[in-house]
Chains A and B, each alone.
Chain A
Amino acid sequence: MRFVFKTDYDQDIRLLKHSGYWWSYGVLLAALIAFPYLVGSYLQSQIVFVFIYAIVGVALIILTGFTGQASLGHAAFLAIGAYTAGFLQSQGISFIVYFPAAAIITGAVGAMVGFPALRLSGIYLVIATIAFAFIVEEILARWESVTHGNEGMRVRTLDFLGQPVPRDGDAFYFLCLLVLVGSILLALNLLRSPTGRAFIAIRDSETAAKSMGIDLAGYKVKSFAISAALTGMAGVLFAHKMSFISPEMFTLLLSIEFIMVIIIGGAFGVHGAVLGAIFIVMVDPFLTALKDDVPVLGASLASSLGMSSEGSGKLRDTMSAIGSAAGLKGAIYGLIIMMFILFEPYGLYGRWLKVKLFFQLFPLYKKATFKRQKTYVKSERNR
């Protein structure tokens, strides 16, 4: 086990706390940079979706994980970002301009949504954000001169200062990576700043935060605006990755998917956004691969165990028939999510921390280490 000997107050807020961080994140970054040269476009595409979902995940963690404000309206923020990109690009405006513009516009809309949030909390806030998402969906369908309504809108290939950046190319991958790394750094820096501390204070107890002189209204609006702006940037990337956007792509289901990202990943740390995004995006392709490969493997295993070729062929057919049964994937997916909520509310990142601690403290690990002490919440139960 490593003991960091602190000689400086700065060490408390340093992002890379000791040399182990340099190594592990350095290797991760190197792997991510090498990735597009090692894998095909199918896997690369999955990773790009992971990046985009992770950016939204980081945005949601700032809002939900740090500030404690739930939102089921993030698909709408994504849509605003995507449509801003699509529209401005069709007007001949450069990516350099519309990328920040999408963030600013979405951030402004986010701030507007933040105001009603001042008076709402818990389930009522969720309802308000759902309502907001419906309003946005409706506007997208109606405002035909800009959004082309329900017919949807083609988004041309991203043009970076005259250079085309095709959505399946390496450059697009790096762009998404860059935005993700940027938003993670933003979130981490936010966390160690007074603003981030205020967010966390609001999450833990609004009453206590207020009595410490924190301006609830201002910080809640700020949190909504930052979260929305990040999601807007993800929306630009999403629009280019999809190359076609229509209002029916940004429904409540997508918002729920985003919430699942942080529930599965773990809402209390930025790691959760990435882990959750990996899970949400890659489970489906993974199950698809299983559907294709497991029956073949099973059959060859059976024949090596002495099964006749006819018998193993039959086994393969049966297994692939089970594997391709419609809705099986959805069932597995739902089961995994239920298991997470029941048995690991801290998400994948929480599980990782527990496993790590178990080995660090072996054999002294105590389950109760992670038991959440929330006695102070009792006073706010009826809020």
Chain B
Amino acid sequence: MRSFCVKAALLGSIFSLAALPALAQQTKVTNQGITPTEIVLGTHQDLSGPIKSWGVPVTNGMKMAVDEVNAAGGINGRKLKLIVEDVGYDPKRAVLATQKLVEKDKIFAMLAPLGSPTVLAAQDILLEAGIPQLFPVTSAEFTYKMDPKNPQDRLKFNNVPPYTESVRAGARHLMQEKGSKKPCVMYQDDEFGKNVLDGFNQAVADAKLTAASVTSYKRGASDFSSQVAKMKSDGCDLVVLGTIVRETVGVMAEGRKIGFAPVYFGSTAANVIEVPALGKDVTEGFYAVGGMEIPYRDTSTGKAKEWAEAYYKLYNMEPNTQSALGYNEVMTFAHYAKLAGKDLTGAKFLAAMESGDVFQDIFNSPPVKFSPTEHLSATVYLLQQIKDGRWVVLKRDLKN
């Protein structure tokens, strides 16, 4: 009898869900987290896990931007409040942290959450609650591609250059400029590396060439001698690297050792100050595609220099691309929230985001804008090269 009651209760509860209303075609968007004095924003970062070299500077940059916006009087009189949760690159913790932010902290928007699996596991929670997912620090397609059948997809916005598209644009440009005959690729055997490989293949097809050599390595590998030897024997004249920091330096050092000196080109993941810092003269001449200029403290000018100096003073760390990115995400939000007007609501904010109004950051990056059909703003990339241990911008209008 007892177990029957339990079963009946369970079944009943399952069936009671049958009566869910059909989805309306209008995008549901939240108004929570907006008070006359405050706008509450949330983010989940990796501050203690495997990619904290991204999470920490991104968070620093974001906090700095929030302080700056608030010091200038906030957004139409509302101060920003940023709640950071550390999820250590664990999707389970990302799901829980997101629910906490939505439910307990009542955030208005999720700003710049970090990592592909973490962002993707938590994404639906935000969309279903009508909370915009703004500028996640991952370029996975799920974060900006909209399904016309799902009106909640309108809440997704991204401005990080996708690896595939940016590598395609950069590699094709270099192949044509250098007159490459035998382009090659070497990539890390994971999601990131596969995106680079896809970009390379598209660029090769664009330039009407054939790949001379395709090699890969396992994540965490530190010996690349066999791959580099193979590329040398295949006669590669341009090598696209789907590598991050340590591997980039490792490959180029190995190449130098065996007298193999092609044109090296890397993705946005390698377009960071850590590469020349670690590689010293080995990485001289390395090309990479990037979304923004590197905010060097000594050579940047104007507002970017002020920012870089202030960042260094505040955190006692050299500013890098990651921290500039974090700073930019908050500033981009502030720009569109201001545009939405004094009586900010979720719907007005969405309309402002999609208005096509241009946001120009202080780092001289390609302008940011969105439209109702395009929720990825990063479609123009920069070609950069390491000269004398520093990244120098060569071309500002790489496009597909």
Residues of chain A at the chain B interface (Cβ within 8 Å)? 26, 29, 33, 40-42, 45-46, 49, 141, 149-152, 154, 160, 163-171, 174-175, 177-178, 241-244, 246, 248-249, 281, 284-285, 288, 324, 326-327, 329-330
Contact = CB atoms under 8 A, between A and B. Distances in A.
A242 B121 contact: yes
Secondary structure call for the B interface: helix
Contact of A49 (B10, B13, B92, B193): B92
B10 A174 contact: yes
Contacts of B1: none
Nearest to B89: A248
B99 A164 contact: no
B95 A248 contact: no
Contacts of A152: 116-117, 120, 191
B86 A329 contact: yes
Given A29-B6, A154-B142, A163-B17, A246 B116 contact: yes
Interface in B84-118: 84-86, 88, 91-93, 95-97, 99-100, 102-104, 116-117
Given A242-B95, A326-B86, A248 B117 contact: yes
Given A42-B96, A284-B93, A326-B52, A174 B13 contact: yes
Given A165-B14, A244-B91, A141 B103 contact: no
A104 B17 CA distance: 29
A151 B191 contact: yes
A152 B20 CA distance: 29
A244 B117 contact: yes
A261 to B, nearest CB: 13
Nearest to B100: A42
Given A244-B91, A244-B121, A285-B100, A151 B14 contact: no
Contacts of A164: 17, 20
A351 B199 CA distance: 57
Contact of B6 (A33, A40, A49): A33
Interface string B43-64: 0000110001000100000000
A330 B93 CA distance: 13
A330 B17 contact: no
Contacts of B206: none
B277 interface: no
B17 A170 contact: yes
A326 B60 CA distance: 12
B309 interface: no
A26 B190 CA distance: 49
A246 B52 contact: no
Nearest to A151: B191
Contacts of B123: 244
A1 B359 CA distance: 74
B2 to A, nearest CB: 8
A46 B124 CA distance: 17
Nearest to A246: B117
Nearest to B141: A151
Contact of A249 (B20, B117, B125): B117
B194 A149 contact: yes
B190 to A, nearest CB: 4
B347 interface: no
A164 B20 CA distance: 9
Contact of B9 (A33, A149, A241, A244): A33
Contacts of A41: 99, 103
B189 A141 contact: yes
Contacts of B52: 326
A246 B120 CA distance: 10
Contacts of A249: 91, 117
Contact of B96 (A165, A246, A285): A285
B120 A244 contact: yes
5 contacts: A151-B194, A152-B191, A163-B18, A168-B125, A170-B13
B4 interface: no
A33 B14 CA distance: 12
Given A171-B13, A171-B17, A242 B91 contact: yes
Contacts of A285: 96, 100
A152 B15 CA distance: 32
A368 B204 CA distance: 75
Given A150-B190, A174-B13, 5 more contacts: A42-B100, A46-B96, A174-B10, A178-B10, A327-B47
